[in-house]
């Protein structure tokens, strides 16, 4: 953590510094790793490229020192890149490490440029493998055909700590002073990476933004395959048109339970949606009307319930009512038979093929219910210790003065919100024993109707990182996060007029009953919606 003597005065003013030559930065010492090389070059008027579908906006006009550090770990035979963008002028005195998504340890230079545009010294790491969001096949299996535990360990946690060490050392060498504060920023895989830092390396960062985190990775990612297993075993593959009928029915049933009829399910605790109410309903779809059958409603109910044991006990969580089915329950038309078939989400499909079966040719469409349960148990027993990232005891992070924010969409179709809430509840018990004390250093914000790191029917935070910085540096904890709808690659545009507040869980944003329902000013944090 940063020493008190390193505080920026004033914080809003760029730090004064005399930077050294970009080509003459000292090689850092990284415990447990060997630094293979370090190089730096000044880059002027840099412009980032969009990274569809995740980042469509771009940054231009950056003047940075672009530093690349390559390192390796004994016995792993890896070549890990840690890259930094160091602002040549107007550095704000802070360090921001950036996370990745899916199977990518980082989002590459697109995230570096966004952080550097805010005058942060920014870093990222590739974990020693290509930053491919969907496909880990180039690195998942070693030469012996077995899962590459070394690179998986890099991806899970080791390379993140290395990046923190390298980043701080390079900043010290280039600017001649330490960063006053160090931050982590990430969503999804990046959120899991942030929690890994808090759990395993509590002194690395003063503030951590860990949004929609894929904690409990072996359980969460295996469960992401469940909708495909259900459709394959039940022998029917509903179209998205049919699934949308269930989304609409769920919203109609539960929308008003939060006091506002706005197309968003906010009060999930009170939502008792029964898919069977649609049996016999004709749904207008491309190609003709489709009648909803008991078979279809069974499939939907099983997807909402999540996977269960043979005795009916829940193994993991499922989709919340009103959540999109497009990613984990996607279907397509077979080019050979002309019939509907499942279209698995690549991330869990690769996880099962490569890390559980160690067989790239394994056909996940053949998984029976009992085989799925076996895979679920195998995933937990084999990989929880490596990439579970589910230790709720954050006492060391709290003692170090760390602050953390997590926000989670309630219509997330990849990371199940119940899993995130369950982890937070465990943190309360393991770290402090009392709910209020956890709020002193870690706050969870739930976003009704929001998807996985993006808006869907409901808005997402307009800026969760700024409140984190304010909490760390000024001691002002965020009582709310401002949220709004905006054009997004993942979801439809909601328009700038739709705004909300998000409240620290377990509080909810309650409508005042008289104001504009699309205006955040009409909402206050409360214990319940009534």
Phi, psi of 465 (to 5 degrees): -75, -40
Q: Do residues 499 and 509 lie in contact, with contact meaning Cβ atoms separated by under 8 Å?
A: no
Structure tokens at 51: 């990274």
Read off the pLDDT of residues 427-460 as tens digits, 9 standing for 90 and up: 999 986 655 589 999 999 999 999 999 877 888 9
Average pLDDT of span 88-94: 96
Which is catalytic among the residues 412, 413, 499, 522? Answer: 412
- C-alpha–C-alpha distance, residues 446 and 406, integer Å: 8
Nearest alpha carbon to residue 351 among 38, 131, 140: 140
Percent of the chain with pLDDT over 90: 86
CA distances from 292 to 131, 150, 271 (A): 41, 48, 22
pLDDT for 493: 46
Q: Are strands 442-447 and 460-461 parallel, antiparallel or unpaired?
A: unpaired
Q: How many C-beta atoms surround the C-beta of residue 50 within 10 A?
A: 12
Asked whether the CA dihedral 74, 76, 79, 81 is positive or negative, the reply is: negative
Helix or strand or coil: residue 518?
A: coil
Q: Are strands 94-98 and 181-187 parallel, antiparallel or unpaired?
A: parallel
Read off the pLDDT of residues 162-219 as tens digits, 9 standing for 90 and up: 999 999 999 999 999 999 999 999 999 999 999 999 999 999 999 999 999 999 999 9
Nearest alpha carbon to residue 249 among 280, 286, 295, 288: 280
Q: Mind giving me the DSSP string for 283-344?
A: EEETTEEEE--HHHHHHHHHHHH--B-TTS-BSS--PPTT---TTTT-EEE-TTT-SEEE--
* 16, pLDDT greater than 80: no
HEC readout, 83-113: EEEEECCCCCCEEEEECCECCECCCCHHHHH
pLDDT for 55: 77
pLDDT for 491: 41
Structure tokens at 62: 């950056």
* Catalytic-residue membership of 452: yes
Read off the pLDDT of residues 475-504 as tens digits, 9 standing for 90 and up: 999 999 999 974 333 344 444 568 999 999
Which is catalytic among the residues 452, 488, 499, 522? Answer: 452
Looking at residue 233, the DSSP 8-state letter turns out to be: H
CA distances from 100 to 187, 190, 210, 230, 469 (A): 7, 5, 11, 30, 20
Nearest alpha carbon to residue 424 among 440, 438, 410: 438
Helix or strand or coil: residue 173?
A: helix
CA distances from 347 to 216, 262, 355 (A): 15, 32, 11
Average pLDDT of span 105-130: 96
* Catalytic-residue membership of 73: no
Read off the pLDDT of residues 25-69 as tens digits, 9 standing for 90 and up: 999 999 999 999 999 999 999 998 887 777 777 889 999 999 999
Average pLDDT of span 351-357: 98
Nearest alpha carbon to residue 54 among 158, 131, 159: 131
HEC readout, 136-149: CCCCCECCCCCECH
Helix or strand or coil: residue 442?
A: strand
Q: Do residues 193 and 100 lie in contact, with contact meaning Cβ atoms separated by under 8 Å?
A: yes
* 403, pLDDT greater than 80: yes
- Angle between helix 294-305 and helix 226-234 axes, rounded to 10 deg: 160
Could you tell me which residue, 263 or 372, shows the higher pLDDT? 372
- C-alpha–C-alpha distance, residues 169 and 424, integer Å: 33
Q: Do residues 208 and 402 lie in contact, with contact meaning Cβ atoms separated by under 8 Å?
A: yes
Nearest alpha carbon to residue 181 among 468, 417, 438: 468
pLDDT for 12: 38
pLDDT for 3: 36
Which is catalytic among the residues 188, 417, 488, 499? Answer: 188
| Residue 283, strand partner residues | 290
- C-alpha–C-alpha distance, residues 81 and 71, integer Å: 7
The per-residue pLDDT of the chain, averaged, comes to: 92
* 14, pLDDT greater than 70: no
Q: How many C-beta atoms surround the C-beta of residue 324 within 10 A?
A: 22
* Catalytic-residue membership of 412: yes
* 336, pLDDT greater than 60: yes
Tell me if the pTM is above 0.85.
yes
Q: How many C-beta atoms surround the C-beta of residue 58 within 10 A?
A: 14
pLDDT for 17: 54
- C-alpha–C-alpha distance, residues 436 and 251, integer Å: 32
HEC readout, 370-433: HHHHHHHHHHHHHHHHHHCCCCCCCHHHHHCCCEEEEEEECCCCCCCHHHHHHHHHHHHHHHHC
- C-alpha–C-alpha distance, residues 456 and 262, integer Å: 13
């Amino acid at each position: 953590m940063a020493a008190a003597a390193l505080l920026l005065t004033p914080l809003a003013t760029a730090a004064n510094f005399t930077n050294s030559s970009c080509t003459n930065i000292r090689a850092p010492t990284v415990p447990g790793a060997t630094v293979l090389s370090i190089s730096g070059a000044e880059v002027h008027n840099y412009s980032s490229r969009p990274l569809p579908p995740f980042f469509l906006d771009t940054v231009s006009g950056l003047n940075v020192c672009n530093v690349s550090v390559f390192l390796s770990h004994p016995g792993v035979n890896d070549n890990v890149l840690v890259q930094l963008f160091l602002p040549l002028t107007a550095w704000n005195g802070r360090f921001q490490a950036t996370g990745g998504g899916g199977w990518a340890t980082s989002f590459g230079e697109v995230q570096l440029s966004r952080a550097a545009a805010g005058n942060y010294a920014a870093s990222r790491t590739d974990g020693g493998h290509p930053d491919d969001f969907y496909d880990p096949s180039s690195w998942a299996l070693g030469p012996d055909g077995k899962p590459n535990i070394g690179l998986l360990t890099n991806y899970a946690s080791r390379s993140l700590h290395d990046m923190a060490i390298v980043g701080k050392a390079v900043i010290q060498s280039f600017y001649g002073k330490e960063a006053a504060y160090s931050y982590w920023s990430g969503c999804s895989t990046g959120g899991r990476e942030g929690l890994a830092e808090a759990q395993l390396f509590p002194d690395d960062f003063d503030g951590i933004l860990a949004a929609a985190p894929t904690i409990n990775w072996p359980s969460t990612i295996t469960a992401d395959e469940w909708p495909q297993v259900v459709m394959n075993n039940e022998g029917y593959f509903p179209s998205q048109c049919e699934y949308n009928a269930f989304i609409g029915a769920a919203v109609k049933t539960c929308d008003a339970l939060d006091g506002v009829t706005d197309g968003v399910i906010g009060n999930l605790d009170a939502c008792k949606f029964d898919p069977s109410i649609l049996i016999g309903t004709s749904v207008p779809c491309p190609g003709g009307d489709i009648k909803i059958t008991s078979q279809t409603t069974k499939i939907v109910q099983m997807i909402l319930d999540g996977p269960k044991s043979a005795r009916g006990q829940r193994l993991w969580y499922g989709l919340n009512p009103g959540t999109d089915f497009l990613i984990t329950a996607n279907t397509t038309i077979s080019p050979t038979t002309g019939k509907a078939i499942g279209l698995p989400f690549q991330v869990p499909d690769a996880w099962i093929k490569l890390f559980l079966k160690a067989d790239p040719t394994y056909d996940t469409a053949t998984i029976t219910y009992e085989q799925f349960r076996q895979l679920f148990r195998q995933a937990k027993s084999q990989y929880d210790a490596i990439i579970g990232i589910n230790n709720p005891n954050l006492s060391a992070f709290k003692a170090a003065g760390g602050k953390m924010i997590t926000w989670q969409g309630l219509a997330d179709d990849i990371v199940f919100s119940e899993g995130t809430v369950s982890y937070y509840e465990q943190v309360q018990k393991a770290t402090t024993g009392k709910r209020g004390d956890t709020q002193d250093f870690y706050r969870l914000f739930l976003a009704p109707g929001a998807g996985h790191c993006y808006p869907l029917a409901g808005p997402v935070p307009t800026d969760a990182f700024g409140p984190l910085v304010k909490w760390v540096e000024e001691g002002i904890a965020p009582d709310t996060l401002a949220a709004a709808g905006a054009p997004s690659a993942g979801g439809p545009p909601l328009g700038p007029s739709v705004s909300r507040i998000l409240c620290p869980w377990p509080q909810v944003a309650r409508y005042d009953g008289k104001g504009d329902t699309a205006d955040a000013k009409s909402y206050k944090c409360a214990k319940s919606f009534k």
